Amino acid sequence: SQTIHQWPATLVQPVGSPLSLECTVEGTSNPNLYWYRQAAGRGLQLLFYSVGIGQISSEVPQNLSASRPQDRQFILSSKKLLLSDSGFYLCAWSPDRDSNQPQHFGDGTRLSIL
């Protein structure tokens, strides 16, 4: 069966520091991968998605970037964090080439910027 892992679960970082959040998927190949952000008490905002290694689409211009160095690895990064980057970050995957399938989510990373 397929599983998705995100880490760390929580992170407290000072303003201006770098960020790296990692997401990996097991049990499937060539998945579509997604990064979302959820502000406190709010809905989901799609940040990035990827349909293959090295292929990244950005939905919202911002202080963050994403990379997909391996088929089942998706990384969210920032060179300098802002206070507004605080939130709950969720990674998700869906099967390739089947647009009516659900996405499956990781447990999330709660990021607090001080």
Partner 1 sequence: GDSVTQMEGPVTLSEEAFLTINCTYTATGYPSLFWYVQYPGEGLQLLLKATKADDKGSNKGFEATYRKETTSFHLEKGSVQVSDSAVYFCALSGGNMLTFGGGTRLMVKP
**Interface with partner 1 (CB under 8 A):** 6, 32, 42-44, 46, 49, 51, 90, 92, 94, 99-108, 110
Name which of 13 and 46 has its Cβ closer to partner 1. 46
* 77-110 residues labelled b (16+ CB within 10 A) or e (exposed): ebeebeeebbbbbbbbbbbeeeeeeebbebebbb
Name which of 65 and 104 has its Cβ closer to partner 1. 104
Tell me which residue of 40, 4, 22, 13 sits closest to 111, measured CA to CA: 13
* Closest CB 20 distance from partner 1, rounded Å: 19
Name which of 65 and 105 has its Cβ closer to partner 1. 105
* Closest CB 70 distance from partner 1, rounded Å: 20
Sign of CA dihedral 43, 13, 67, 31: negative
* Closest CB 50 distance from partner 1, rounded Å: 10
